[in-house]
């Protein structure tokens, strides 16, 4: 069975029946955002408890995973090991249909129990992604990069700066140099 899809054939439908699983699998693609997330193929470890309910299966899990990204200010690599808690109710298809019949507009977004399987990936994604920072930082006061040379500002001296002239004034700067050469008294001496 691939990755985070678990077999529930041996989980009795009697309310309160429990199945414990330990899953070790490579991380699926796109488990995060564009700037931070779980690298595809990295190790995922889940301790899962599945409990039969009247209208579905309740999944409790602790997922140990590695998050990788970079600081949006200085581009420093960020790596962190995390544990994410999953508490999700997967409904039987007939329970979802009953909610649709009652006019529940959110019924289409509910997680469903398959015929003999349960896919933990959407629940893991829902538990992890909202906890990831929208703009990850290496530290809250990260000064970022110098806009001119691209070096990390924290590694540069406090008086670091670049002489930047407005290109519209470059012709005048050339005239100034010419005038200074013309006024130099030492220049005309033999």
Q: CB-based contacts of 163: which residues, under 8 Å, 6+ apart?
A: none
Q: What is the pLDDT of residue 158?
A: 85
Q: What is the pLDDT of residue 183?
A: 66
Q: For residue 169, what are the CA distances in angstroms to 70, 90, 162, 178, 189? A: 39, 68, 17, 15, 32
Do 124 and 164 fall within a single domain?
no
Do 109 and 59 fall within a single domain?
yes
Do 93 and 17 fall within a single domain?
yes
Domain count within the chain: 2
**Residue-averaged pLDDT of the chain:** 87
Residue 52 lies in a domain: yes
Do 14 and 81 fall within a single domain?
yes
The closest alpha carbon to 2, from 32, 26, 31, 37, belongs to 26
Element (H, E) at 176: helix 170-183
Do 52 and 9 fall within a single domain?
yes
Q: For residue 178, what are the CA distances in angstroms to 68, 164, 165, 172? A: 56, 20, 18, 10
Q: CB-based contacts of 68: which residues, under 8 Å, 6+ apart?
A: 36, 37, 38, 39, 42, 77, 78, 79
Do 107 and 173 fall within a single domain?
no
Do 118 and 159 fall within a single domain?
no
Do 107 and 179 fall within a single domain?
no
Do 104 and 70 fall within a single domain?
yes
Token pair 């050339």: residue: 174
Residue 47 lies in a domain: yes
Residue 148 lies in a domain: no
Which residues of the chain have a pLDDT value below 50? 1
Q: What is the pLDDT of residue 128?
A: 95
Q: What is the pLDDT of residue 1?
A: 45
Judged by DSSP in three states, 59 sits in strand
Residue 13 lies in a domain: yes
Q: What is the pLDDT of residue 2?
A: 64
Cα–Cα distance, 4 to 133 (Å, whole number): 24
Q: Residues 74, 142: contact at Cβ < 8 Å?
A: yes
Q: For residue 172, what are the CA distances in angstroms to 167, 169, 177, 178? A: 10, 5, 9, 10
pLDDT, tens digit (0-9, with 9 covering 90-100), for 59-101: 999 999 999 999 999 999 999 999 999 999 999 888 888 888 8
Residue 124 structural domain: 5-131
Confidence (pTM): 0.75
Q: For residue 35, what are the CA distances in angstroms to 27, 48, 140, 150, 180? A: 17, 28, 17, 19, 52
Cα–Cα distance, 186 to 178 (Å, whole number): 15
């Amino acid at each position: 069975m691939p990755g985070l899809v678990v077999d529930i054939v041996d989980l009795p439908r009697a309310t309160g029946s429990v199945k414990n699983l330990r899953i070790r699998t490579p991380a699926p693609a796109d488990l995060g955002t564009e700037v931070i997330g779980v690298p595809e193929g990295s190790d995922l470890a889940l301790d899962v408890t599945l409990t039969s309910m009247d209208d579905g299966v309740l999944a409790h899990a602790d997922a140990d995973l590695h998050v990788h990204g970079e600081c949006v200010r200085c581009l420093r690599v960020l790596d962190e090991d995390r544990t994410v808690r999953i508490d999700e109710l997967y409904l039987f298809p007939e329970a979802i249909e009953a909610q649709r019949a009652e006019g529940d507009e959110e019924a289409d977004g509910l997680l469903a129990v398959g015929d003999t399987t349960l896919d933990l990936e959407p629940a893991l994604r829902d538990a992890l992604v909202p906890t990831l920072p929208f703009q990850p930082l290496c530290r809250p006061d990260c000064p970022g990069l110098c806009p001119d040379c691209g070096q990390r500002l924290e590694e540069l001296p406090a008086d670091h700066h670049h002489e930047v002239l407005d290109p519209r004034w470059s012709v005048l700067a050339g005239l100034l140099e010419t005038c200074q050469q013309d006024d130099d008294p030492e220049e005309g001496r033999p």
